[in-house]
Structure 1
Amino acid sequence: MSARETILKRLRERADGPLSAPESDFAVATNRGWSVEERLARFERLISSVHGEVLHLERDDWTQGLAQLLADKGVRHLALGKEHPVAVDARRALADSGIEMVDVDRDIEAWQREQFEQVDAGLTSTRGGIAETGSLWLWPTSDEPRLISLVPSIHIAVLDADALEDTFFDVVEAHGWAERMPTNALLISGPSKTADIEQTLAYGVHGPRELVVLVRHAGAPAGEKA
Structure 2
Amino acid sequence: MSSSAESRERILGRLYNAQQYGRDAYVPQKKEWNIKNRAKDKNIAEFIERMSAVRTEVYRTKGTEWVAELQKLVEERGQKTLLHSPTTPTGKALADSWKKKSSCQLITWEGDVEDYKDDLFDCDGAVTGCIGGIAESAAVILWPTPEEPRLMSIVPPLHVVVVEADKIYTSFQDAIKKLKWNIEFPTNALLISGPSKTADIELILQFGVHGPTDLIVFITE
Match of 1:101 in 2: 106
**Counterpart of 1:44 in structure 2: which amino acid?**
I
Q: 1:97 to 1:143 in 2, by over 3 A?
A: farther
Task: State the Cα distance separating 1:23 from its structure 2 match.
Answer: 7.0
Q: C-alpha separation between the residues in 1 aligned to 2:57 and 2:180? A: 29
Q: In the alignment, is residue 43 of structure 1 matched against residue 47 of structure 2?
A: yes
Runs of 4+ residues deviating >6 angstroms = none
Match of 1:200 in 2: 204
Q: C-alpha separation between the residues in 1 aligned to 2:82 and 2:75? A: 12
Q: 1:110 to 1:84 in 2, by over 3 A?
A: closer
Conserved in 2, the CA contact under 8 Å of 1:104 and 1:145? Answer: no
Match of 1:221 in 2: none
Written as runs of structure 1 = structure 2, the 5 A alignment for 1:125-204 is: 125-196=129-200, 198-204=202-208
Instruction: Give the TM-score normalised by the residue count of structure 2.
Output: 0.81
**Corresponding residue SS for 2:198:** strand
Task: State the Cα distance separating 1:128 from its structure 2 match.
Answer: 0.7
Q: In the alignment, is residue 120 of structure 1 matched against residue 124 of structure 2?
A: yes
Q: Deviations over 1:86-130 (max 9, x none)?
A: 1111112225134322222322222223311x2000001111100
Q: Deviations over 1:162-188 (max 9, x none)?
A: 111100011111112132112111110
**Counterpart of 2:42 in structure 1: which amino acid?**
E
Question: Which deviates the most, 81-90 or 176-185?
Answer: 176-185
Conserved in 2, the CA contact under 8 Å of 1:81 and 1:105? Answer: yes
Q: C-alpha separation between the residues in 1 aligned to 2:127 and 2:120? A: 13
**Counterpart of 1:152 in structure 2: which amino acid?**
P
Match of 2:84 among 68, 80, 92: 80
Q: C-alpha separation between the residues in 1 aligned to 2:212 and 2:201? A: 22
Name the larger-Rg structure: 2
Aligned-residue sequence identity (percent) comes to 34
**Counterpart of 2:33 in structure 1: which amino acid?**
F
Q: In the alignment, is residue 57 of structure 1 matched against residue 61 of structure 2?
A: yes
Q: Deviations over 1:33-68 (max 9, x none)?
A: 422221111111111111111011122533221221
Q: C-alpha separation between the residues in 1 aligned to 2:142 and 2:74? A: 22
Query: How many residues were matched structurally?
Result: 192
Alignment RMSD: 1.8
Task: State the Cα distance separating 1:24 from its structure 2 match.
Answer: 5.2
Structure 1: segments with no counterpart, 5+ residues: 1-21, 218-226
Task: State the Cα distance separating 1:73 from its structure 2 match.
Answer: 2.5
Match of 2:32 among 25, 28, 41: 25
Instruction: Give the TM-score normalised by the residue count of structure 1.
Output: 0.79
Conserved in 2, the CA contact under 8 Å of 1:43 and 1:134? Answer: yes
